[in-house]
């Protein structure tokens, strides 16, 4: 099978009115990735060498989105929706290119597993003309039943057309199938629309192929693989299933999740073994974590790279471009964006580091901020190796603090500081004996006068 070519035709033309959204249904995200992109990934993992997206509602938006998750996919517009077979034939140009296998999939089934698709393709390799993917839902009511006889799939029967005996069948149609490329167009062109809705149903090719004496079989996938998304409640259900799968994968790969159900991953999260993740942590897209890191509770990470044995949080936010090197620390109520925190450096408390480099072994005191934006442009702050930035300091970029530099607490630094220098950027303290008492008495007198006037 690995030597065969395969086209995946993904049907994604539905309007998704039950989503109550102006956005095409299949662009709603699971784990930060459009649900149709999950389908594309599964197809590619199952060996698809070509992709055809059949789109309709929001066609331009779909094309633009597809450039990100499937740049090599061909797109075809189903102008009028006349059934699933009609939708597949919208991709006639791609199907006619002579692929060995054709996978027909749906853009709103983001939990489909590559293994289920590969199993269907394997049946084609063994000589079947059509392999339909089935599943066994807890309650089959409402699903089309797969009617088998002598090891062959003879029909897909909609529930309203089932006999009482057929309604008892628990093996149901997941909608997806694999079709041998040499038969695909001929079978699809034979599908008629002599039915109540006047539509062309893909399921009809089962009986058409059987009538030609071709082998038609069914394969079985897990129930979750076939879940279609029609509304936001089902979207949330699918998100929960995806997250549960990913958490289990992470833990089996050596990651400790103290409260797994409270940790949320993105589709591309990379996390090394011996990492510990405490409760209520959110991983947005683009996060890569090396081995042995600790991510403390209530931290939010997006687009960040975290080195070996580094420590983040609790209550830390790492934004895109945050790059923590080995044994770096970003502590509680800190935010880092587009900055490198080099080996062993510490950003411990209540601090903002943006557009900066924090040198190896440097210490950033509580309440420090890099003032990187003047309302129009961003500027860079360079903090040298081993520098010490006192608490409540403001570093006004562009500025550099030299290696071993020392910034006194409460300073506003507007000029660069040489290596090993000590810099003060604050007014000299002045102490006036007895002035505090005088102020209190004056303020009390004013307050009393206001109260009396109010009465």
Helical (H) or strand (E) element with 236: helix 232-252
Helical (H) or strand (E) element with 127: none
- How far apart CA 151 and CA 261 sit, in angstroms, is 42
- Active-site residue, 349 included: yes
Q: Encoding tokens for residue 256?
A: 């400790």
In 237-351 the beta strands, taken as DSSP E runs, fall at 256-257, 270-271, 276-277, 282-283, 288-289, 294-295, 300-301, 305-306, 311-312, 317-318, 323-324, 329-332, 335-341, 346-349
In 165-261 the beta strands, taken as DSSP E runs, fall at 172-180, 216-220, 256-257
- 286 close to 304: Cβ distance less than 8 angstroms: yes
- 6 close to 103: Cβ distance less than 8 angstroms: yes
Choose the catalytic residue: 86, 296, 300, 349.
Answer: 349
* Residue 111: DSSP 8-state: T
Q: Encoding tokens for residue 242?
A: 């995806």
Residue from 97, 289, 288, 81 nearest 193 by CA: 81
CA 18 to the chain's CA centroid = 22
* Residue 23: DSSP 8-state: S
Q: What angle do CA 104, 106, 107 make, to 5 degrees?
A: 135
- 183 close to 99: Cβ distance less than 8 angstroms: no
- How far apart CA 70 and CA 28 sit, in angstroms, is 16
- 302 close to 318: Cβ distance less than 8 angstroms: yes
Please identify every residue annotated as catalytic. Answer: 349
């Amino acid at each position: 099978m690995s030597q065969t070519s395969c086209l995946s035709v993904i049907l994604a033309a539905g309007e998704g009115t039950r989503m109550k959204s102006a956005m095409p249904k299949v662009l709603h995200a699971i784990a930060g990735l459009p649900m149709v992109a999950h389908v594309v990934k599964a197809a590619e993992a199952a060996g698809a060498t070509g992709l055809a997206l059949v789109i309709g509602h929001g066609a331009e938006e779909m094309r633009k989105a597809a450039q990100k998750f499937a740049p090599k996919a061909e797109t075809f517009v189903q102008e009028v929706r006349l059934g699933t077979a009609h939708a597949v034939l919208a991709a006639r140009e791609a199907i006619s290119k002579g692929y060995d296998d054709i996978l027909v999939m749906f853009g709103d089934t983001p939990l489909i597993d590559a293994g289920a698709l590969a199993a269907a393709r394997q049946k084609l390799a063994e000589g079947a003309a059509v392999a339909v993917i089935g599943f066994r839902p807890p309650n089959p009511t409402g699903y089309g039943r797969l009617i088998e006889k002598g090891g062959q799939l003879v029909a897909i029967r909609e529930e309203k057309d089932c006999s009482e005996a057929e309604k008892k069948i628990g093996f149901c149609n997941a909608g997806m199938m694999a079709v041998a490329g040499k038969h695909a167009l001929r079978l699809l062109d034979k599908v008629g629309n002599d039915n109540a809705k006047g539509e062309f149903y893909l399921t009809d090719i089962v009986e058409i192929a059987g009538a030609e004496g071709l082998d038609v079989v069914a394969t079985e996938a897990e129930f979750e693989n076939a879940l279609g998304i029609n509304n936001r409640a089902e979207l949330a259900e699918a998100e929960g299933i995806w997250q549960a799968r990913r958490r289990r994968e992470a833990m089996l790969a050596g990651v400790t999740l103290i409260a797994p159900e409270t940790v949320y991953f993105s589709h591309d999260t990379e996390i090394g073994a011996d990492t510990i993740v405490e409760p209520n942590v959110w991983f947005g897209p683009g996060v890569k974590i090396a081995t042995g890191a600790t991510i403390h509770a209530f931290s939010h990470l997006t687009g960040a790279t975290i080195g070996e044995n580094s420590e983040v949080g609790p209550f830390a936010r790492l934004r895109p471009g945050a790059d923590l090197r080995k044994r770096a620390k970003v502590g509680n109520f800190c935010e880092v964006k587009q900055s490198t925190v080099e080996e062993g450096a510490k950003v411990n408390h209540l601090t903002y580091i943006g557009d900066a480099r924090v040198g190896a072994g440097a210490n950033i005191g509580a309440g420090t901020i890099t003032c990187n934006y003047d309302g129009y442009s961003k500027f860079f702050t360079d903090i040298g190796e081993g520098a010490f930035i006192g608490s409540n300091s403001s570093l006004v970029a562009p500025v550099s603090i030299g290696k071993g530099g020392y910034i006194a607490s409460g300073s506003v630094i507007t000029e660069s500081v040489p290596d090993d220098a000590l810099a003060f950027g604050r007014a000299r303290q002045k102490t006036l004996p007895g002035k505090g008492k005088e102020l209190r008495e004056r303020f009390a007198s004013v307050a009393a006068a206001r109260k009396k006037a109010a009465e």
